[in-house]
Amino acid sequence: MVVIPSQMRGLNRRTLFQQLQRVGVASRADLARSLGMSAPTAGKIVEELLELGVLEEVPLPRRSAGAVSGRLGRPGRLVQADRRHPRFLGIELGVTQTRFAALPVGVDGDDAWTVQVPTGGSAEAWRGGLREAAARLAACAWWGVLVSVPGIVDEPAGRILFSPNLHWTEGIDLREVIGEVWRAPVELVQEERALALGHHLAEPEEEDLLLVDFGEGVGGAMLQGGRVPRGASPVSGELGHTPIPGNTRRCGCGGVGCIETLVSRNGLIESHRAERTRWGEDWDGLQAAVAEGGIPGWLAQAMDSMGSIIAGALNVLGLNRLVVTGHLSDLPPVVVEHLSRAVQRGTLWGRFGEVTCRAAVRRRAAGLVAMGIDRLILPVETEGRAGRFGSAGARLWRRSEENVVKNSTDR
């Protein structure tokens, strides 16, 4: 394959930015040295990203002045992903609520959604919720609107093909609906993929993993080398729709016996309520029941079944790292520990090695930003993207290719 100069520049930008994400804060010289890149090339890329607003300069710690990287002389200037300015609008489309947040490039920490509206049961109701949210959000020239959506999603086409819990979204052009409210590029991201990318951003050393999220449904997403595999099928990760023998509950997908009818939040509450224990019949009652009485038989059986399904996925994918997010983490740790043992028993890795299983918080917003950078600002395929997105990033690259570099007064 022949790599043309513009593609090489795009790859260098991505490589430098990804390295800065891993280390957090660095000087230009440190970035060039760690990447084996020439200092002028690294410096030019940093200046381009500073002008765009992807990066920002940060004050050098006083005790480090004149001694960056252990050298004396003129101190280097440190840079990091911009944390001060909202660049993207993040949206979480949930079954009952839709949440919004203004997100900087350097988003970190747990999700912090600032506006919430009912999702409603139709496109028209949701459209009204979007307008309500827009009135409550500060006006901003968004680089893009990034939307976490459930179900089977054709991300390149921007359409939800099938959504067991939100059937009204199927076949509707959500990008067009959102575009009526915000004039900005709109990108849909399947929710588990967003969660997996967000986890990697917070834990960059965990590059190869399967993340399984427990919410209104149950789904998974895999990462290889810190990225969602290219060309992944829209139906990949749909673990929740594996039927379990003896389970007669009807699922929103139209099938009977899907595991998510047992281990989703509502499924767990339904099973707990059927036990008629002395604890309350809601979620708090289930937490109390497990905390005081240990794992009941029905829950142990459900975790064993879920563990077998996850183990099968790990065997097929060749992975030995599992990350669990969602409501299972809200139950006493003994539940995830039981699930972990069930996964270990079912994997081939478990015969001669170790399968790690850990609970983690949801970092959906960080995953959305990672996808926004990947698709809108530093895309892999540089050719043809500028016309599609018309983004601030594309405009910057056109200016930089013409060697027209302007100093930004607001970074």
Q: Are residues 56 and 144 in the same domain?
A: no
Q: How far apart are CA 241 and CA 25, in angstroms?
A: 42
Last residue of a domain, one of 195, 215, 250: 195
Give the model's pLDDT for residue 387: 33
- In tens, the pLDDT along 316-356 reads 999 999 999 999 999 999 999 999 999 999 999 988 888 99
Q: Are residues 212 and 190 in the same domain?
A: no
Among residues 286, 241, 280, the alpha carbon closest in space to that of 265 is found at 286
Domain with 179 in it: what CATH number? 3.30.420.40
- In tens, the pLDDT along 212-224 reads 999 999 999 999 9
Residue 257 lies in a domain: yes
Phi, psi for 250 (deg, rounded to 5): -85, 135
Please list, residue by residue across 29-59, b when 16 or more beta carbons sit within 10 angstroms of its beta carbon and e when fewer do: bbbbeeeebeeeebebbbbbbbbbbbbbeee
Q: Are residues 16 and 37 in the same domain?
A: yes
Q: Are residues 236 and 332 in the same domain?
A: yes
Q: Are residues 65 and 114 in the same domain?
A: no
Residue 48 lies in a domain: yes
Q: Are residues 149 and 19 in the same domain?
A: no
Q: What is the mean pLDDT of residues 367-373?
A: 94
Last residue of a domain, one of 156, 177, 195: 195
Q: Which domain holds residue 215?
A: 204-359
User: Looking at residue 376, what DSSP letter applies?
Assistant: I
| Domain total of the chain | 3
Q: Are residues 151 and 136 in the same domain?
A: yes
Q: Are residues 41 and 12 in the same domain?
A: yes
- In tens, the pLDDT along 247-270 reads 999 999 999 999 999 999 999 999
Could you count the other beta carbons within 10 Å of the beta carbon of residue 88? 28
Residue 104 lies in a domain: yes
Which tokens sit at 23?
Answer: 């280390």
Q: Where are the beta strands (DSSP E) in 88-150?
A: 88-93, 97-103, 115-118, 144-149
- In tens, the pLDDT along 164-217 reads 889 999 988 999 999 999 999 999 999 999 999 999 988 988 999 999 999 999
Q: Are residues 149 and 242 in the same domain?
A: no
Last residue of a domain, one of 49, 81, 113: 81
> Would residue 161 be called left, alpha or beta, if left means φ above 0 and alpha means ψ between -120 and 50 degrees?
alpha
Q: How far apart are CA 349 and CA 379, in angstroms?
A: 35
The model scores a pTM over 0.75: yes
Q: Which residue has the tokens 């449904």?
A: 217
Q: Where are the alpha helices (DSSP H) in 104-220?
A: 123-136, 174-179, 191-202
- In tens, the pLDDT along 13-51 reads 999 998 998 899 999 999 999 999 999 999 999 999 999
